[in-house]
Amino acid sequence: MRDQVIAMMKESKSRRLVDGDSCDVPVVDAVRERLAKSGHCGLRSIQVHVDNQSILLSGNVSTYFLKQTAQELARTACPDHELKNSIVVV
């Protein structure tokens, strides 16, 4: 599981360097789409709020892995935005 998170973080970093135009679609829609297509049904209930250049993720998930997965998916959706992860592991 830890290796999956590390691999996703590396992928996220490489996409941030390549995907300069990833913010052309509305940010909330882009983040929600990535969460929905992740294959993790627990991420579909995550709330996404955007304020200026900041993305806020909130909600509850069952594992730290899902919290980190949501964060990395959101980061790849729009790498130029600041990301605040307020997801709670319960």
Residue pair 14/6 in contact by the 8 Å Cβ criterion:
no
**Could you read off the pLDDT of 22-79 as tens digits, one per residue?**
443 489 999 999 999 999 999 999 999 998 889 999 999 999 999 999 999 999 998 9
Residue 16, pLDDT score: 44
Distances (CA, A) of 51 to 11, 13, 20, 54, 55: 25, 23, 20, 5, 7
**Number of Cβ atoms within 10 Å of the Cβ of 59:** 18
Give the pLDDT band (50/70/90) at residue 12: low
Enumerate the domain spans of the chain.
Answer: 2-89
Residue 17, pLDDT score: 41
Q: CA-to-CA distance for 26 and 32, rounded, in angstroms?
A: 10
- Is the full-model pTM beyond 0.85? no
